[in-house]
Amino acid sequence: MGELTGRVAVVTGAASGNGRAIALRLARDGADVAIADLDDAGMAETAQAIGREGRACLAQRCDVSSKADVDALFDAVAARFGRVDVAVANAGVVERGSHCLTMTEQEWDRTTGVNLKGVFFTLQVAAQRMIAARTPGRLIAISSIMGEWGNATSPAYCASKGGVKQLVKSFATAVGHAGITCNAIGPGFIRTAMTGPVFENAAMERFLVDRTPNGNIGDPDDVAAVAAFLA
């Protein structure tokens, strides 16, 4: 019996990378898991892996920047599992190579729509369901070290990830009375498909290793371990 046996978790952006690792770790710890993404093939692979852990899985196509999609996700979770105990707002995108001075309105809106508005909707709807059910739940959002550093060629990503930190503080003050915790995880550079192009540059990888106190680049299981602790 795992520590999350009998619990239901929702993980957005779970088709690959950190999201998949988080979903699998929560399943190994005993939770049934609802996963959401726009990558149907990736979600199918994650769902199969959760099944191999002996846990139930709901896979729901969801654009987290759409409030209607997020509502539909949690409606589906309620219909399948009847409750939600843990919500992980992980879905994110990055606008590689879009300089502060040349970034388009479309690029800005897409990135902040997923990374910040999407986190807001996910936490908001999850919290509403938890409070209505009097569930002492756990809200978790994925920020990034880029919310601290800044980068001339990914300003919307950096701004959105910095915003996630403040958003989580706001939710923590709003839901603590109901026995719900809200935390953010701010990973450094993790080896995923999103960061793959970064590590193709040997000089950049060396730079990142040198800036990391223990001299290691993390992998998604590291992030998943923190999410499991918070869950």
Q: Where in the sequence numbering do the catalytic residues fall? A: 157
Q: What pairs with residue 138 in β-bridges?
A: 86, 181
Amino acid 172 reads A
Spatial distance between the Cα atoms of 11 and 187, rounded to a whole number of angstroms? 17
Burial 177-202 (b: 16+ CB within 10 A, else e): eeebebbbbbbbbbbbebbeeeeeee
Spatial distance between the Cα atoms of 199 and 215, rounded to a whole number of angstroms? 15
Q: DSSP letters of 35-94? A: EEES-HHHHHHHHHHHHHTT--EEEEE--TT-HHHHHHHHHHHHHHHS---EEEE-----
**In which region does residue 82 sit, left (phi positive, over 0), alpha (psi from -120 to 50) or beta (all else)?**
left
CB-based contact 70:23 (threshold 8 Å): no
Spatial distance between the Cα atoms of 181 and 230, rounded to a whole number of angstroms? 9
Neighbours of 13 (CB within 10 A): 30
Residue 152 class from Cβ within 10 Å (0-12 exposed, 13-18 middle, 19+ buried)?
exposed
